[in-house]
Homo-oligomer: A and B are copies of this chain.
Amino acid sequence: MASPSAAANSFPDAAYRVAVVGGTGYAGAEVVRLLLDHPQFEVAVVTSGRSAGIPLHQECPWLNTDLVLSEYAPDTWTGIDAVVLAQEAGFAAEHAAELIPHYRVIDLSADFRLRDPELYRQYYGKSPAPNLGAVYGLPELVDRDEIRNARLVANPGCHVTAALLALMPLVSLDLLTGTPIVDTKTGVSGAGRGRKETEYLFSEIAEDIRPYAVTGHRHIPEIEQMVGRPIRFTPHLIPVTRGLLGTIYAPTKAADFDAIYREFYAGEPFVRVIDGLPQTKAVRGSNRADLAVRYDERTEMLTIMVAIDNLTKGAGGVAVQNLNLMFGLPETAGLSAGGLWP
């Protein structure tokens, strides 16, 4: 028991109005989906460069709203408190500076994630964004007060969220003895809704398992800047829409890892260290991360497995979690820790 229904109640005390820039892609629409059922936020503006003027539910038939899509035109906005940017790389780099004087801003792209501008140039092949004091928005692993006070939050990548939740307990205790290997299996929605390459067609993806970006994936420096050492990372494309499973192989000496991980994440509302093995469907549509560890003495390696919904905990959910922190609300407001199954 807990949440009054979206449809049932209007909260007269609903205080904060949000503009979602790029609301018809998967990540942006996930933010809208969550905010439409949120008690203290109201979706006031949803933009779409391609579909301005069209009702949002025509582009996104799952969203039960009469909102009409508009162009990105912040000078026409009134009464907006927060802006969520869900655009291609480069948009936030160009526009964040004009927004942060007026709004609290969360950016879902990679533009402000890397501390070292050279790494951005190297992995993205473009000029890095200006330094606007962005805070890295992974609440479980950074100082939450920084998020609470930030004007600009850079949402972490979904592979990175899984890898860091798995590795940081070891890093914090300096337990790694070699190169960790991060092997992720991700649903197709991570490729976005605008991808028109043949390879993302249903008929190409269904019944297929494949690796991609075997070396040099852009998420590597984002993981390494927190882990503090090189990692080996390979993602795989799996025929599911939502869900990301990380299997992390960490060389380390024997220890009571189950206790270490449970203590590290004690009190976290959205991280659950479980007895069984994580599976992505248990967290589908949820902001929860399920995590388990198994040690293999024969090879002195810890296997850490973590399951998230790449669009919720890996994108739209953590955005709402960060919004909650930024506006002084309970961190869990409007976010379910339960999944949709089957």
Given A212-B277, A238-B238, A4-B7 contact (CB < 8 Å): no
Bitwise interface map of A from 190 to 220 toward B, beta carbon under 8 Å scored 1, else 0:
0101111110111111111111101100000
Given A1-B41, A11-B2, A236-B185 contact (CB < 8 Å): yes
Chain A's interface: helix, strand, loop or mixed, by majority?
loop
Closest to A303 in B: B214
Interface size, chain A (Cβ < 8 Å): 117
Contact status B3-A38, CB under 8 Å: yes
Binds B, one of A90-98, A109-117, A240-248: A240-248
Q: A243-B208, A277-B211 are in contact. Are A3 and B305 (CB under 8 A)?
A: no
Identical chains bound together, number = 4
Cβ–Cβ contact B203 & A62, under 8 A = no
Residue A76 at the B interface, CB < 8 A? no
State which of B193, B202, B215, B232 has its C-beta within 8 Å of the C-beta of A239.
Answer: B202
Cα distance A301–B234 in the bound complex, in angstroms = 12
List, in ascending order, chain B residues with CB within 8 A of A205's CB.
202
**Chain A positions near chain B (C-beta within 8 angstroms):** 1-11, 14, 26, 29, 33, 35-43, 58, 60-65, 178-179, 181, 183, 185, 187-189, 191, 193-198, 200-212, 214-215, 230-232, 234, 236, 238-245, 247, 249, 269, 272, 274-286, 288, 290, 294-296, 298-299, 301, 303, 305, 307, 311, 329-342
| CB-based closest 8 A-B pairs | A2-B6, A7-B332, A62-B339, A210-B279, A3-B3, A208-B281, A203-B342, A4-B39
7 additional contacts, CB 8 Å, given A1-B35, A1-B42, A230-B299? A2-B7, A2-B11, A62-B281, A64-B337, A196-B198, A203-B342, A206-B207
